[in-house]
A and B are shown apart, each in its own frame.
Chain A
Amino acid sequence: MSDTGRMRTATSIFRPLLAGLALALLAGCASTAKTPADPYEGFNRKMFAVNEGLDAVVAKPLAKGYDAVTPLPVKAGVGNFFGNLGDAWIGGNNLLQGKLADGASDFGRLLMNSTMGLFGLFDVASEFGIEKHDEDFGQTLGRWGVGEGGYVFLPILGPRTLRDAGGWVVDSSVDPVRRYDDVPVRNSALGLRFVDIRASLLPADRVIEEAAFDKYSYIRDAYLQRRRSQVADGRISRQDD
């Protein structure tokens, strides 16, 4: 990626964030937030509505089409391929969090799947019982003690806390797909990965439709629960009262 290209990506990432932040600060002054974790709720709900609209006309139809025409082994190969590329940074984050054994196993996975797994198309490591982890820079920041900050919902990016939005910027900057030099290949790969991820969420859509009273707050509360648990690596006690 050229430097100007990277700059452009960086500003296009920061602009909505800054805009969101500014609006949110205003909103925060003007009203008392109903949910402490969601101080920018008014703004977030508007962005959520925008995202729902975009999703309904673009992302979801694409994902459904992809899901319908792609044979399962191909879909599995696509998911495995991008999953394998992700393992390097997952391992890096484990190391940054001081989880050396987990980090080493992630790099072991990368090595195995890139060779025996034919450039990551097959997840042989999982077949051998080497577990895939889920780490990112937002979790690393959390582990280092950075507070999560307010909840923000942005179109296309979806739910984030301010901390995780920052983490995402770092994740993107080291993302091997985004850093790939050949622009047409890079864009096709980014597109394919996006559609693959969206397609993997189709079953969750149906469950959320059944479960949620208010889709906005259901997704927000699920996201916050999940991130808090991920940062603590699942060691969270139940609040039972």
Chain B
Amino acid sequence: MKVIFRLVMVLVLCVGFRVQAQEMTPDALVKNVTDEVLQLIKQDKDIQSGSSRKLAELVDAKVLPHFNFARMAQLAVGKEWQKATPQQKQLVTAEFKTLLVRTYSTALADYKNQRINYKPTKFAPADQEVTVKTEILQPGGKPVQLYYALEKTDNGWKVFDVIVGEVSLVYNYRNDFTTEIRNSGFDGLITSLTAKNKSQDSKGSDRK
């Protein structure tokens, strides 16, 4: 059953992907993916009862294909990026991806009574970068602004920055990363990223 389900999922994803890549505007893409993911979270009893593994799988399948993590890593590192070797770039990107995905999943796990408001997005057909603005409305709380910066690629629009409450989650690492690179080089940055990811892993397993 599971295998069949997976196969169907892969098929659906491939088909969906091709359609999205060619036709979908960035705002429609954000809306479709968000609506679908939130719907799945609501329906999934395991996620509702706190299964972080199930949630990670969902994010992996539905969200990650629409992100450009190499650009994100570059944006987080800033000027120093060009000094890194291709292998270092790859390692930083991989570890940074793990960190961001975990952060994103943690935020999603708290999704309960909120509503998403999609704000109108203005852009010209020739635009290569577009920011799609959404807003999370929660009862009694201030609305939280959630923006996605997307860039046009050959494979459709890809998210390269997530901005929560006017804070770019990617750019927020710039100071720390720059300090780390100046003190102990790119390898130092890779080491501390890896260590951070490992420490969160062990914390995660403690909770279960």
Residues of A within 8 A of B (CB): 34-35, 72-73, 75-80, 83, 123, 126, 132, 134, 200, 203, 206-207, 210-211, 213-214, 217-218, 221-222, 225-226, 229-230, 234, 238-241
Contacts and interface: CB of A to CB of B under 8 A. Distances in A.
B196 A203 contact: no
Contacts of B168: 225, 238
Secondary structure of the A side of the interface? helix
17 contacts: A72-B139, A75-B140, A83-B140, A126-B137, A134-B142, A203-B107, A203-B110, A206-B110, A207-B106, A210-B102, A211-B103, A213-B176, A213-B180, A221-B172, A221-B174, A226-B167, A240-B75
Interface in B140-196: 140-143, 149, 161, 165-169, 171-176, 179-180, 192, 196
B113 to A, nearest CB: 7
Contacts of A206: 106, 110
B67 to A, nearest CB: 16
Given A217-B175, A225-B166, A226-B165, A76 B139 contact: yes
A35 B139 CA distance: 38
A239 B103 contact: no
B116 to A, nearest CB: 14
A121 B5 CA distance: 47
Contacts of A241: 78-79
B176 A83 contact: no
Could you say which interface size class chain B belongs to? 20 to 34
A225 B161 CA distance: 14
Contacts of B24: none
Contacts of B103: 207, 210-211
B79 to A, nearest CB: 5
B101 to A, nearest CB: 10
Q: Which of A78, A200, A217, A240 has the most CB of B within 10 A?
A: A240
A229 B166 CA distance: 6
Given A207-B103, A238-B161, A240-B75, A34 B179 contact: yes
A30 B175 CA distance: 22
B127 to A, nearest CB: 14
A239 B142 CA distance: 28
B55 to A, nearest CB: 13
B141 A79 contact: yes
A217 B174 CA distance: 11
B99 A211 contact: yes
A80 B140 contact: yes
Nearest to A225: B167
Contacts of B78: 239, 241
